[in-house]
Chain A
Amino acid sequence: MGRCITVTSGKGGVGKTTTTANLGMALAMNGKNVCLIDADIGLRNLDIVLGLENRIVYDLVDVVEGNCRLKQALIRDKHFQNLSLIPAAQTRDKDAVSPEQMADLCRRLSQQFDFVIVDSPAGIEQGFRNAIAGADEVLVVTTPEVSAVRDADRIIGLVEAAEIPPPRLILNRLNPALVQKGEMMAMEDVTDILAIELIGIVPEDSTIVMASNRGEPAALSEASKAGKAYREIAKRLQGEDVPLVMPVASESFLDRMFRAFRPRPRVAS
């Protein structure tokens, strides 16, 4: 029996789809059988981030409505046979699928896959409730910005209320240089506030944009820092003990000297 993991966030645009694509790819690279579900009905994206947009015949709504067999809606990845995608319907709305139908689909899929990863839409409405309906675990993605963190807190509360185990946190788009200047909340600031386990930090990285341009997730690239972060998160999901290190900015000698003279930041009471 596989695990069904939902990637969600509250606030939009913080990196759920990027995270789903990269974790799926990284787990597949590790030999796991993985199925990704794009639950963002009406705003289909996961297919294009994975470079699979030209292979779509059936979608999530076709599966739950019985217009096709489950097997027919599974799109194979170009790189890994053991990675599949069920795309979202583009011309329907969120209530074309019910939470019960989602839960049932996740159950069926986790009989044949090691990991089922659901890409949740932004928000706290029906689309979100569908996305967590079949979840054994939840990953909450946030950036270190006040609005994203506040919305993450709200989502954590809703996940806990749904009697799913406490979600784990992915801190995305962290800019180490800004953190070092004190102009962006650091890992500890965010985990202090949200009080859930941090499973990974993904730096702000232009290779993410390049990767989605090409439809080849950054996890495939040895050189990508964000890709490496996602490969490490995949290992942690598989239960490996990979130490979590705060990314550091490359500093010039002058930067280092200036930093030595700066007053130590006061600790908030």
Chain B
Amino acid sequence: MNFLRNLFSRDQSSAQVAKQRLQVVLVQDHLSMAPGTMAAIKAEIMEVISRHLEIDPEGVEVAVERRGHGDELVANIPVRRNVGRSGEAIASSRAARPARAPRPVTAVGRGGHQRP
């Protein structure tokens, strides 16, 4: 059963979930950042970008990730192809990995990695 579940499930393993959750929470610990700050940053980034490009709001991901020796703010923002501004749906099916499917605009800002 376990085997079938693994074969057919697109869910991540609990170990991967653990790792990702830790990456997020440790960044918050290091930056002494309130949990709501990330949501505010995300909303403001979306506001700025949508002044210039049509974005897919559902697919936007903003996170601070640890890369090497620094913490990086990574924004993954799917934009719609500007085909006559018809509001045409974005290229691929969004079933599997919504944020990664369309070509993303990735903004990376680097900050010193500091533990508290």
Contacts and interface: CB of A to CB of B under 8 A. Distances in A.
A160 B69 CA distance: 15
A184 B17 CA distance: 10
Of B3, B25, B29, most A-chain CB atoms within 10 Å: B3
B116 A146 contact: no
A266 B16 contact: yes
Nearest to B14: A183
B29 A149 contact: no
Interface stretch (A64-72, A79-87, A131-139, A257-265): A257-265
Given A258-B3, A262-B6, A154 B22 contact: no
A189 B19 contact: yes
A192 interface: yes
A157 B29 CA distance: 11
A153 interface: yes
Nearest to B115: A157
A250 to B, nearest CB: 17
A266 B19 CA distance: 12
B66 interface: yes
Contact of A193 (B6, B7, B22): B22
Nearest to A258: B3
A204 B16 CA distance: 20
B54 interface: no
A245 interface: no
Give the contact-size bracket for chain B: 20 to 34
A146 B14 contact: no
Interface in B2-20: 2-3, 6-7, 12-16, 18-20
B65 interface: yes
Contacts of A192: 19, 66
Nearest to A183: B14
B7 A183 contact: no
A154 B23 CA distance: 13
Nearest to B20: A268
Contact of B26 (A150, A182, A189): A150
Interface residues of A, number: 28
B85 interface: no
B29 A153 contact: yes
A44 B25 CA distance: 33
Contacts of B16: 182, 265-266, 268
A162 B32 CA distance: 19
A150 B3 contact: no
A184 B15 contact: yes
A262 B3 contact: yes
Interface in B46-78: 65-66, 69, 74
A73 interface: no
Contacts of A266: 12, 16
A254 to B, nearest CB: 9
B116 A154 contact: yes
B65 A269 contact: yes
A150 B25 CA distance: 8
Of B12, B19, B66, most A-chain CB atoms within 10 Å: B19
B19 A262 contact: no
28 contacts: A146-B18, A150-B22, A150-B26, A153-B29, A153-B115, A156-B115, A160-B115, A182-B13, A182-B14, A183-B13, A185-B15, A185-B18, A185-B19, A189-B15, A189-B18, A192-B66, A193-B19, A193-B66, A258-B3, A261-B3, A261-B7, A262-B3, A263-B6, A266-B12, A268-B16, A268-B20, A269-B65, A269-B74
Interface of A: 145-146, 149-150, 153-154, 156-157, 160, 179, 181-186, 189, 192-193, 195, 258, 261-263, 265-266, 268-269
